[in-house]
Amino acid sequence: MPSRRRARTSATSVFLVLGLAIAGYALHSAGLLPPAQADDAATSGPDATSGPGATGDPGPGSTASASAASEPSRASSPDPDAAASLRLLATLPVKGKAPATGYDRTADFGTAWLDVDHNGCDTRNDVLARDLTEVVRQGPCRVTTGTLVSPYTGGTIAFTRGQTTSTEVQIDHVVALENAWRTGAQQLSQTSREALANDPENLFAVDQHSNAQKRSGDAATWLPAAKGFRCTYVGHQVTVKAKYRLWVTPAEHDAMVRVLGRC
């Protein structure tokens, strides 16, 4: 008898354990039990890619980082197709530059930098966040550090915000604002000129040397040292000039045709 009782007790224990296991599995599947310990980096802290006002935005004084593969910066739209750029170029008026008389960057194109897209961040910080990798922000907008691969040279720059270091990375207007002023922007409204000056398609984060070297040059007088980027650069110039109803000079037109014809 004792042996039979022990056997019945053992069988009962086995069934009890199996029942508990099945019940636990059902509760876990239904989400009523907590999962096993997760990676803290994936489950805690603010979302580095959230925009202003999104849940999990870092508050003032906090930092967040976002990383991507290092590569030359790109504007927000896809790279223009060379053949399409040539067709668009053929639609642009060709004539000489108007006088630069009266040109004033701030008065004509607005303060650098505005928030024309009303996302809560000024254009410079928007472009830095777009074009740099390993970005660290203070609050939702202010980019404090990051890495730039300048599209104009291919060189890598470690960006750190500061009075003596911020200028190492500059925001270039692909169609320079003075060039725009002399090729039709004088006829635009103030709102359209401010849109042109802050249009992400007309902006690249670049190295300080290239931006200083280019100044207000067009395709006939300045092109990026990185030859592999020239098709993208000129394609964006054509797109921007068409978008804002600007014209090209004869020399500029011919230089654009040469660049796009080799793409």
CB 94 within 8 A of CB 255: no
- CB within 8 A of 15, min separation 6: which ones? none
The arithmetic mean of pLDDT across residues 225-233, rounded, is 97
What's the pTM?
Answer: 0.72
Give pLDDT, residue 25.
40
pLDDT at 36 over 50: no
Condensed to tens digits (0 to 9), the pLDDT of residues 209-223 reads: 999 999 999 999 999
Give pLDDT, residue 1.
46
Give pLDDT, residue 76.
56
- The reply to whether omega before 247 is within 30° of 0 (cis) is no
Q: Give 40's pLDDT tier (boundaries 50, 70, 90).
A: very low
pLDDT at 233 over 50: yes
3-state SS track over the chain: CHHHHHHHHHHHHHHHHHHHHHHHHHHHHCCCCCCCCCCHHHHCCCCCCCCCCCCCCCCCCCEEEECCCCCCCCCCCCCCCHHHHHHHHCCCCECCCCCCCCCCHHHHHCCCCCCCCCCCCCHHHHHHHHHCEEEEEECCCEEEEEEEECCCCCCEEEEECCCCCHHHEEEEECCCHHHHHHCCHHHCCHHHHHHHHCCHHHEEEEEHHHHHHHCCCCCCCCCCCCHHHHHHHHHHHHHHHHHCCCCECHHHHHHHHHHHHCC
pLDDT at 9 over 60: no
Give pLDDT, residue 13.
44
The arithmetic mean of pLDDT across residues 145-165, rounded, is 96
Give pLDDT, residue 79.
73
Condensed to tens digits (0 to 9), the pLDDT of residues 74-127 reads: 565 667 799 999 999 999 999 999 999 999 999 999 999 999 999 999 999 999
Q: Give 73's pLDDT tier (boundaries 50, 70, 90).
A: low
pLDDT at 142 over 70: yes
The arithmetic mean of pLDDT across residues 28-43, rounded, is 34
pLDDT at 244 over 70: yes
**Which of 16-30, 150-164, 199-213, 228-242 bottoms out in mean pLDDT, i.e. has the lowest?**
16-30
